[in-house]
Chains A and B, each alone.
Chain A
Amino acid sequence: MDKFTSHAGIPVPLRRSNVDTDQIIPAVYLKRITRTGFEDGLFSAWRADPEFVLNKEPYNRGTILVAGPDFGTGSSREHAVWALQNYGFKVVVGPRFGDIFRNNSGKAGLLIAVVDQDVVERLWDFAEQNPGVEIEASLVDRTITAGGDTYPFQIDDFTRHRLLEGLDDIGSTLQHADDISAYERTRPSFKPRTIPVRTAG
């Protein structure tokens, strides 16, 4: 994973709450077997509407999505994160996120910046009143700077550390393979195994 320290880009105001992952990318777009090519599915139902924010200049070039509460709820599909990244988004700012979506974002390198709802309102206003003016998200400082204003955002220490260093989670865990083996030796014999196959038929 690439290291993430800070990013400056055009903010996109998405004035909606409860944007579930089915809205971010509908199921019919989930059939690809790669991590790329999902940008066409991003918000596909809404992009049919010419008035939708991503159909307008300069927001179609935006890289920082400013979302309402409960963004990314529902399905666990990491394709929602890939669709945002494939489109060009690097950061999603919002007051509250679905847990699995937030986890997936951390793993895939999309920064989730949690701020209060009143900061979201101010960023929405800023994005609409200053179309095309970039804002900056600094992971080092945990801040978002828009115009002359700087707002703190929340992110857990461990995810921040991983993003800053660009760490590979699996590689880190495999360094503790001995601990895993030691744990496995303590597992009771009644725990089920899927192999050899047993079936009622």
Chain B
Amino acid sequence: MGKTLSEKVWDAHVVRQAPGEPDLLYIDLHLVHEVTSPQAFDGLRLNNRTVRRPDLTLCTEDHNTPTLNIDRPIADPVSRAQVDTLRKNAAEFGLRIHSLGDADQGVVHIIGPQLGVTQPGMTIVCGDSHTSTHGAFGALAFGIGTSEVEHVLATQTLPQARPKTMAVTVTGALPDGVTAKDLVLALIARVGTGGGQGYVVEYRGDTIEALSMEGRMTICNMSIEWGAKAGMIAPDQTTFDYLQGRPHAPEGDDWDAAVEYWKTLRTDDDARFDREVVIDATQLTPFVTWGTNPGQGVPLGASVPSPDDFADEAARSAATRALEYMALTPGTRMRDIAVDTVFLGSCTNGRIEDLRLAASVLKGHKIADSIRMLVVPGSARVRVQAESEGLDKVFLDAGAEWRAAGCSMCLGMNPDQLKPGERAASTSNRNFEGRQGKGGRTHLVSPAVAAATAITGHLSAPADLAN
């Protein structure tokens, strides 16, 4: 029997196998940020250990960093201490770091692909659950905790139990106005937040093949939101074209050898998945969340559901709690929900294509008086690229704020937060209670819906603007 894509990548990284033990996997790239690493470096010092492969390690500052006044010291002393700690650790252990103000600084999952250190067939880890983003290149990429960060720093390996495999096959053309974000939100609403637990998922089918790398990254990024260990997409010409010429992409003979290998990274015809999910893309519409987990979503054209709509008792009580927290009444049309904040950014939707899409909707419009819109590029280079295309002018002319790169309001570790009771349409990945600020309420949306919503002041799609 043949192998799936994830099995091929897994098998190519097994350092050691022993009965009754998890496989010991080699890690090709370890991405490090300031929040989940300080205790790991302390552990190394405590045990007189060193970093085994500084040349397979890359640090950046993203979670705490401000998006205003980045030329000044970070105002919050606790955030500043955490960032300074990463700088000191990088210096002590000889690690590459892209600090605030550096041309390559940005959200860890944006800068890996941008630098070309994210490549097909690699194993990639980071102390961050959205590491699944890198699976868009056909890499096996997953989030780890701080103890595992320390383990990778010390050994460049991780003991891992072999996961099950799942295929999500998507076929048909996405209708106009429907994006990769809508597709993944619709998928999560269908399978539930626990639907992927224990699986590495491969997204496949002609809809996926037609997506840009940015769209593929959006989908793989949210694999963790339905519990999957990782999400992957087989590399193809779109992948190779994206990578060629990037700073760390192979060159010359190495490029040819790499592409030859990358082309083998496809699920064999006779391979079997442990589970399959099939989605008809032609039936999708813009999709938004109403609740407090990413599975609590509906089409934009639908209404807020009632707890009675759910057969399962746990889902019913979760819906009751979510409606209370979100201050929503069953039966309210999603389009009638007014928001006061729009956040465009994050590792889910902070890439150049996302900014282009939102700008194309905003061009020639003003955002509603009631709206505060933050546009936060995923990296310093995305920001520069957007400015070279004049996108910053479009956002500023529309009345939005044009900020520096970072995680920002996706998780509100820096000053970009919702106030209690504020309601956001957000292109990020989590609508958890308090995620964007204590008492804040989040509706997850695509960049297109975010932009249209900023103009009308209530949840909207670009198609609504013509009416």
**In the complex, A103→B160 CA distance in Å?**
10
The segment from A51-59, A132-140, A186-194 found at the interface with B is: A186-194
Q: At the interface, yes or no: A77 with Cβ under 8 Å from chain B?
A: yes
Name the interface residues of B150-173: CB closer than 8 Å to any CB of A: 150-151, 154-157, 159, 161
Residue of B with least CB distance to A68: B314
**In the complex, A79→B119 CA distance in Å?**
30
A residues within 8 A CB of B249?
A: 192
Number of A-B residue pairs, CB cutoff 8 Å, is: 220
* 30 chain-A/chain-B pairs, Cβ below 8 angstroms: A22-B411, A22-B435, A27-B63, A30-B63, A30-B413, A31-B64, A31-B78, A31-B79, A45-B433, A69-B314, A73-B193, A74-B129, A74-B224, A75-B430, A81-B145, A100-B224, A104-B145, A173-B159, A174-B155, A180-B15, A180-B24, A184-B26, A188-B258, A192-B29, A192-B250, A194-B56, A198-B248, A199-B104, A200-B246, A200-B247
Complex contact B194–A69 (CB within 8 A): yes
B residues within 8 A CB of A193?
A: 55-56, 248
**In the complex, A35→B37 CA distance in Å?**
11
Partner of A191, one of B64, B122, B318: B122
Name the interface residues of B1-34: CB closer than 8 Å to any CB of A: 15-16, 20-22, 24, 26, 28-29
With A179-B15, A191-B28 as known contacts, state yes or no: A76 contacts B413, CB within 8 Å.
no
Complex contact B194–A194 (CB within 8 A): no
Q: Could you tell me which A residues sit within 8 Å of B by CB distance?
A: 15-18, 20, 22-23, 26-28, 30-35, 45, 68-70, 73-79, 81, 96, 98-100, 103-104, 107-108, 117, 156-158, 169-170, 173-174, 176-177, 179-180, 183-184, 187-195, 197-201
A residues within 8 A CB of B261?
A: 188, 190
User: Nearest chain B CB to A92's CB is how many angstroms away?
Assistant: 15
**In the complex, A16→B54 CA distance in Å?**
43
A residues within 8 A CB of B315?
A: 17
Q: At the interface, yes or no: B184 with Cβ under 8 Å from chain A?
A: no
**In the complex, A177→B82 CA distance in Å?**
32
**In the complex, A20→B417 CA distance in Å?**
19
Complex contact B24–A176 (CB within 8 A): yes
Complex contact A31–B15 (CB within 8 A): no
Q: At the interface, yes or no: B127 with Cβ under 8 Å from chain A?
A: yes
**In the complex, A177→B224 CA distance in Å?**
31
B residues within 8 A CB of A188?
A: 257-258, 261
Q: At the interface, yes or no: B140 with Cβ under 8 Å from chain A?
A: no
A residues within 8 A CB of B145?
A: 76-78, 81, 100, 103-104, 107-108
User: Nearest chain B CB to A53's CB is how many angstroms away?
Assistant: 14
What 1/0 flags go to B431-448 for Cβ under 8 Å of A?
A: 011110011000000000
A residues within 8 A CB of B197?
A: 96, 98-99
Name the interface residues of B393-448: CB closer than 8 Å to any CB of A: 411-413, 430, 432-435, 438-439
With A28-B413, A81-B145 as known contacts, state yes or no: A195 contacts B39, CB within 8 Å.
no
User: Nearest chain B CB to A119's CB is how many angstroms away?
Assistant: 15
Partner of A18, one of B52, B154, B193: B193
A residues within 8 A CB of B278?
A: none
With A45-B438, A199-B115 as known contacts, state yes or no: A78 contacts B36, CB within 8 Å.
yes
Complex contact B247–A76 (CB within 8 A): no
Complex contact A70–B193 (CB within 8 A): yes
**In the complex, A49→B145 CA distance in Å?**
30
Complex contact B412–A28 (CB within 8 A): yes
**In the complex, A61→B300 CA distance in Å?**
45
Complex contact B56–A30 (CB within 8 A): no
User: Nearest chain B CB to A155's CB is how many angstroms away?
Assistant: 12
Partner of B38, one of A20, A33, A169: A33
Partner of A158, one of B21, B26, B78, B318: B21
User: Nearest chain A CB to B193's CB is how many angstroms away?
Assistant: 6
Of B15, B122, B315, the most chain A CB neighbours within 10 A belong to B15
**In the complex, A17→B316 CA distance in Å?**
10
Residue of A with least CB distance to B384: A201
